[in-house]
Chain A
Amino acid sequence: MRIGYIAANTFREAVRDRVLYNLIVFAFLMIGASLVLGQITIGVERELLVNLGLAAIAFFGVLIAIFIGIGLVSKEIDKRTVYTVLTRPVQRWQFILGKYFGLVGTLAVNTFFMGCGLFLALLYMTHKFERADIYVLIAIFFVFLQMVIVTSFTMLFSSFSTPIESAVMAFCFFVIGSFSTDLHSLSASAKGIVKVFATIAAYVVPNISALNVSTAVAHGEAVAGATVALNLGYALLYSGAMVAAAALIFQRRNMK
């Protein structure tokens, strides 16, 4: 219940943030631009719209997750409002979890609206929905899972560092996570100490590339139900571990 109140307050606070609306406007502009770009190419109008639309949702969603996520805890400490909350019967881990759910809720609403924008653009282009569009919906869900993970490690970084440092670390972590397939290939082919480091890195960084199916769905390729279940499970477990680590650090943090 207490987590719910904190989450609801975090959601209200996040939707008042101007950064959020600026980024959403840019995402819609990019989706709209893909309709214009479709006019100067041949035969890939739908592919371009799906690819650019999903990339825009992911890119701006991740930016929102990072830029709002870095301030969730630090702002409360700077404004000293955290003391007001923590003097009530609220555990520190409940505070962290509430903040996390609040931002994830905000991102869910954003992704929903940006997804609607993409589907409206698809409808405008093709004048009908087709079976392959279900897979675009799954791809949007995977983008949301990426944001769930990004929010979790952004909160982890922000629990022990400044907002700027957290933003840089979170962005680097996201980029390295996008190369996770390469890290797995490196760990398979390397030897000795390099193999050990590559293997550790491949499993520690989030596997963002597994959650990117945009190229396949742009071609109308199906996404297997097992893939959806496994990706959902992975995202929940990984982000759960990150949020638990953030709560652990925050629990031990000296607030005086």
Chain B
Amino acid sequence: MSTARPTVTLTLAVGILFSCALILLHNIDARRGSAIIRESLYISSPAALKRMSLGYNGLLADIYWTRAVQYFGSHHARSAEEYDLLYPLLDITTQLDPKLIVAYRFGATFLAERPPMGAGQPEKAVQLVRNGIQHNPDDWHLYYDLGFLQAWNLHDYVGASRTFANGAVLPHTNPVMGVLAASYATKGGDISTAMLLWQTTYQNNQNEMIRQNALQHIQSIQSDEAVTELEEVISRYEEQTGHAPESFLNLVYAGMLKGTPLDPTGQPYELLPGGKIQVQDPDSLPFITKGAPPGWKRKTVPLP
């Protein structure tokens, strides 16, 4: 009896004190918020970090890469417009482990996309991939990514053609590199070349996030093309009848369409009064430049 009482009291004390500590910790975490990531950059010198790792710089690079992913993910989730620490995190990661290809490739995607999809820093993305090529000169994927950034984000078609050509002569390269080099040299930034670029990205990537992004770009380009064609059909109808069609049925009866046209996601297009075409769900085609409802703004697509 005499030994049971202290045991019960001490067990209760452990439970109560630990629970209180957890409640306090919860409050502390809530106060700290995003500052946790900022603290990690108090050591911003990759050389110092390399020395502190005692030779395990690969492990430290993996940790910094994970922090970069978490930093991007948390900012992306709240549709942030600024990603100030993304490039420094990626720079530290790749200096700690210059062979961490994934950090160059994904990092460039994170940096290049316009806010809120990414950091909107294509120049820094180019710088990151150029560093990657310097340390991994035989990896054709990096030439592909650099050419992609030059063509799609910077509209530097001559530079892109040269980069694709450099990547085309590497051992174990992808034959599409030569095709892209020729396309950009002759056609510049036309839609067929852009489509080829995104299709190559879709086919050559294992990661679901990158593939999903590429698919949305492909579908958005297809939708833009379809909207252009439909508006041409409507113009021809107006020329023939003297008035705008009231519905797609008018165009079907006139033999100009086979049925109600569908966008690449399978949703029917809407025909607005005055002969304008509009997509029903612009959020499923976030990169469209035509057919979006007035005032629509691109939303952040959740990461898979």
A interface residues, Cβ below 8 angstroms from B: 37, 40-44, 47-48, 51-52, 54-55, 58, 175, 178-179, 182, 208-209, 212, 214-216, 218-219, 221
Binds A, one of B57-65, B188-196, B241-249, B280-288: B57-65
The one of B59, B61, B97, B209 in contact with A42, judged by C-beta atoms closer than 8 angstroms, is B209
Other than A48-B59, A48-B66, give 5 A-B pairs with Cβ distance below 8 A.
A44-B103, A51-B62, A209-B55, A212-B55, A215-B56
Q: Is the CB of B102 within 8 A of A175?
A: no
In the complex, which residues of chain A have a beta carbon less than 8 angstroms from the beta carbon of B51? 179, 182
If A175-B54, A182-B51, A208-B55 touch, whether A43 touches B106 (CB-CB below 8 Å) is yes
Alpha-carbon distance between A48 and B58 when the two chains are bound, in angstroms = 8
Alpha-carbon distance between A2 and B272 when the two chains are bound, in angstroms = 98
Alpha-carbon distance between A161 and B57 when the two chains are bound, in angstroms = 34
Taking chain A's interface residues, is the majority helix, strand, or loop, or is none over half, making it mixed? helix
Alpha-carbon distance between A221 and B207 when the two chains are bound, in angstroms = 23
Q: Is the CB of A42 within 8 A of B69?
A: yes
Q: Which of B56-109 contact A (CB under 8 A)?
A: 56-59, 61-62, 65-66, 69-70, 97, 99-100, 102-103, 106
Q: Is the CB of B58 within 8 A of A42?
A: no
* Closest-CB distance, B61 to chain A (whole angstroms): 8
In the complex, residue of chain B having the shortest beta-carbon distance to the beta carbon of A221: B99
Alpha-carbon distance between A5 and B2 when the two chains are bound, in angstroms = 51
The one of A41, A179, A219 in contact with B65, judged by C-beta atoms closer than 8 angstroms, is A41
Q: Is the CB of B56 within 8 A of A212?
A: yes
B interface residues, Cβ below 8 angstroms from A: 51, 54-59, 61-62, 65-66, 69-70, 97, 99-100, 102-103, 106, 207, 209
Q: Is the CB of B100 within 8 A of A47?
A: yes
In the complex, which residues of chain B have a beta carbon less than 8 angstroms from the beta carbon of A216? 58
Q: Is the CB of A44 within 8 A of B100?
A: yes
Q: Is the CB of B207 within 8 A of A42?
A: yes
Q: Is the CB of A40 within 8 A of B66?
A: yes
In the complex, residue of chain B having the shortest beta-carbon distance to the beta carbon of A37: B66
If A51-B62, A52-B62 touch, whether A215 touches B57 (CB-CB below 8 Å) is yes
Q: Is the CB of B99 within 8 A of A42?
A: no
A sample of 22 cross-chain residue pairs with beta-carbon separation below 8 angstroms, ordered by A number, consists of A40-B70, A41-B66, A41-B69, A44-B62, A44-B100, A44-B102, A44-B103, A47-B62, A47-B100, A48-B59, A51-B56, A51-B62, A52-B62, A55-B56, A55-B59, A178-B54, A214-B55, A214-B56, A215-B56, A215-B59, A215-B97, A216-B58
In the complex, which residues of chain A have a beta carbon less than 8 angstroms from the beta carbon of B62? 41, 44, 47-48, 51-52, 218
Q: Is the CB of B102 within 8 A of A178?
A: no
Alpha-carbon distance between A214 and B62 when the two chains are bound, in angstroms = 12
Q: Is the CB of A42 within 8 A of B102?
A: yes
Alpha-carbon distance between A47 and B64 when the two chains are bound, in angstroms = 13
In the complex, residue of chain A having the shortest beta-carbon distance to the beta carbon of B56: A55
If A51-B59, A208-B55 touch, whether A219 touches B207 (CB-CB below 8 Å) is no
Q: Is the CB of B58 within 8 A of A47?
A: yes
The one of B54, B58, B66, B106 in contact with A215, judged by C-beta atoms closer than 8 angstroms, is B58
In the complex, which residues of chain B have a beta carbon less than 8 angstroms from the beta carbon of A37? 66
* Closest-CB distance, A61 to chain B (whole angstroms): 13
In the complex, residue of chain A having the shortest beta-carbon distance to the beta carbon of B72: A42
Pairs of residues from A and B, 7 with the lowest C-beta to C-beta distance, nearest first:
A215-B58, A43-B102, A51-B59, A212-B55, A41-B66, A178-B54, A48-B62
In the complex, which residues of chain A have a beta carbon less than 8 angstroms from the beta carbon of B57? 215
* Closest-CB distance, A160 to chain B (whole angstroms): 26
* Closest-CB distance, B93 to chain A (whole angstroms): 10
In the complex, residue of chain B having the shortest beta-carbon distance to the beta carbon of A174: B54
Centre residue among B57, B59, B209 by max chain A CB count within 10 A = B59
Alpha-carbon distance between A52 and B58 when the two chains are bound, in angstroms = 9
* Closest-CB distance, A46 to chain B (whole angstroms): 10
In the complex, which residues of chain A have a beta carbon less than 8 angstroms from the beta carbon of B69? 40-42
* Closest-CB distance, A212 to chain B (whole angstroms): 4
If A179-B51, A182-B51, A215-B97 touch, whether A51 touches B58 (CB-CB below 8 Å) is yes
* Closest-CB distance, B205 to chain A (whole angstroms): 10
* Closest-CB distance, B174 to chain A (whole angstroms): 19
Alpha-carbon distance between A204 and B114 when the two chains are bound, in angstroms = 55
In the complex, which residues of chain A have a beta carbon less than 8 angstroms from the beta carbon of B66? 37, 40-41, 44, 48
Centre residue among B61, B62, B106, B209 by max chain A CB count within 10 A = B62
In the complex, which residues of chain B have a beta carbon less than 8 angstroms from the beta carbon of A212? 55-56
* Closest-CB distance, A20 to chain B (whole angstroms): 23
Alpha-carbon distance between A209 and B58 when the two chains are bound, in angstroms = 13
In the complex, residue of chain A having the shortest beta-carbon distance to the beta carbon of B96: A215
* Closest-CB distance, A249 to chain B (whole angstroms): 28
* Closest-CB distance, A205 to chain B (whole angstroms): 13
The one of B58, B70, B99 in contact with A214, judged by C-beta atoms closer than 8 angstroms, is B58
